[in-house]
Structure 1
Amino acid sequence: MSIKFKTMARKNPRDLAAPEKYYASVVANGATNLETMAELISAQCTVTETDCIAVLNILEENIIRELKQGRIVRLGKLGNFQVGISSEGFDTIEEVNANAITKSRILFRPAKRLRKLLSNLTYQKAS
C-alpha cells in the first residue's frame, strides 16, 4: 500500500509576483471516524464497541480538560498533545502580555513508533 499524491501549483506568499512552483500534496484515501475505530478495537480485544466509544469519548474530554490547564498530555506510545501559541515580537519584556498572542494551536508530537512509520512509507502519483 502506498500514499497517493497529486501535484499542486502554489504562489510564494512572500512574493506574489514570483512564478508558481509545483509541490506534491497528499490525496486522502477516505477517513476513519471514532465509531469505526471503536469497531476495529473491539474486534481485536474483549472490550465491546460501546465500551470503546465511551472510553474514546471520555479520553477526548479529558485531553481537552488537561490542555485547558496548560498541561502536556502524554499518551505513551501514541505521543504527546500540548497547546502552542504564536505572538507578536516586542522590544521590551514589559510590552508582552496576553494581547500579544496572535494564534493558538494544538501541537501533537508522535511517539517513536508513529514517527518510524514515516520512514517506511511508499508514494504513488495519483492519476
Structure 2
Amino acid sequence: MSVKFKVVSKKNPQDLVAPVKFYASAVGFGKTNLDKLAKMISIQCTVTEADCYAVLVSLETNIISELEEGRIVKLGRLGNFQVGLSSEGMPTEEGVTSHAIVNNRIRFRPGERLRDFLQTVKYEKLP
C-alpha cells in the first residue's frame, strides 16, 4: 500500500508576479467513521460492534472533558491531545486577556508507531 499524491500549482501570496510553483498534495480516498472503526475493531476481538462504538463515543466525550480542564490527554501508544492557541501580541502583560486569543486548535502528537509509519510510508504519484 502507498499514500497517493497529486501535483498542485500554487502562487506565492506575498509575490503575485513570481512564477507558479508545483507541490505534492496527498489525496484521500474515502473516509472511515466511528461506525466503521467500531465494526473493524469488533471483528478483531471479542467485543461487540455496539460495545466498541459506545467506547469510542465515550472516549471522545472524555477527551473533551479533560481538555476543558486544561489537561494533556495521553493515549499511550496512540499519542497525546492538547489544546493550543494563538494570540495577538500586546505591549504589556496586563493587556493579554482572553480577548487577545485569535485562534485555537486541538494539537495531536502521534505516538511512536504512528511516527514510524510516516518514516516508512511509500508514496505514489497519480497520473
Q: Normalising by structure 1, what TM-score? A: 0.95
Q: Tell whether 2:93 aligns with 1:93.
A: yes
Counterpart Cα distance in 2 of 1:9 and 1:82: 33
| Local SS of the residue matching 2:5 | strand
1:15: Cα distance to partner? 2.6
Aligned residue in 2 for 1:111: 111
1:17: Cα distance to partner? 3.3
Residue 32 of structure 1 aligns with an amino acid whose one-letter code is: T
| Local SS of the residue matching 2:90 | coil
Overall identity of the aligned pairs, in %: 59
1:14: Cα distance to partner? 2.6
Counterpart Cα distance in 1 of 2:51 and 2:63: 18
Q: Structure 1 residues 7, 32: closer, same or farther in 2, change over 3 A?
A: same
1:1-127 paired onto structure 2 within 5 Å: 1-127=1-127
RMSD after superposition:
1.1
Residue 17 of structure 2 aligns with an amino acid whose one-letter code is: A
Counterpart Cα distance in 2 of 1:115 and 1:55: 25
- Counting matched residue pairs gives 127
1:51: Cα distance to partner? 0.2
Counterpart Cα distance in 2 of 1:73 and 1:112: 16
Counterpart Cα distance in 2 of 1:63 and 1:76: 13
| Local SS of the residue matching 2:7 | strand
Structure 2 unaligned spans of 5+: none
| Local SS of the residue matching 1:39 | helix
